[in-house]
Amino acid sequence: MILSLDANVFVYANITGKKIKNREKRDEWVQLHRKADILYTDVLKGRHEVIIPSVIVAEVCTVISRMTNSEEEGIKAAKEIQQYGIVVYESEHIFEELLPLIAQIKGSGIDSILAAVAMKVDSLLITNDRKLYKRLKSSTIGFDMKLLADMSVNDARSIGET
């Protein structure tokens, strides 16, 4: 199946959350990690193809570097995404194609670019950004998407099965 994963899904897949001191936040993070890890492992195994804009790779690098206090960890995660995913670099030509979709989405810059790429390639968009999810679900723009928090572990395992 073709997926477009938001940066937060990659971050959850890479960070277990087990070191979070607040029990409620830790439990929530661990559950999100389990689902994101299933999805990302399936990408690494070639079960899914992931197509994302380059700004998502940059965001993952930034967030993981900040969370781990290690630039190397951020770069390692970004390079792995580049190796196993299809990264759309926003050249002038591609950006011009995406602009009408970006204008329809009316979200933040990165969110709009991610959603526009997902729409353009007709992929399943998975995010844990409730604001983005609600914006896209309430719009007239129709495409397939899921909120990671609302998915079960079985949902993550069964993505793409018919």
Question: Domain limits at 9?
Answer: 2-153
Examine residue 159 and state whether it is found in any structural domain, yes or no. no
Examine residue 66 and state whether it is found in any structural domain, yes or no. yes
Domain count, the chain: 1
Q: Do the strands 86-88 and 124-127 form a parallel or antiparallel pair, or are they unpaired?
A: unpaired
Instruction: Kindly report the CATH number assigned to the domain that includes residue 32.
Output: 3.40.50.1010
User: How far is it, in rounded angstroms, from Cα 50 to Cα 15?
Assistant: 19
Q: Per residue in 102-117, pLDDT tens?
A: 888 777 788 889 998 9
Full-prediction pTM beyond 0.95? no
Write the CB contacts of 120 (distance below 8 Å, at least 6 apart in sequence).
Answer: 97, 98, 101
User: How far is it, in rounded angstroms, from Cα 71 to Cα 62?
Assistant: 8
Q: Per residue in 63-108, pLDDT tens?
A: 999 999 999 999 999 999 999 999 999 788 888 888 888 888 777 7
Q: Per residue in 28-48, pLDDT tens?
A: 999 999 999 999 999 999 999
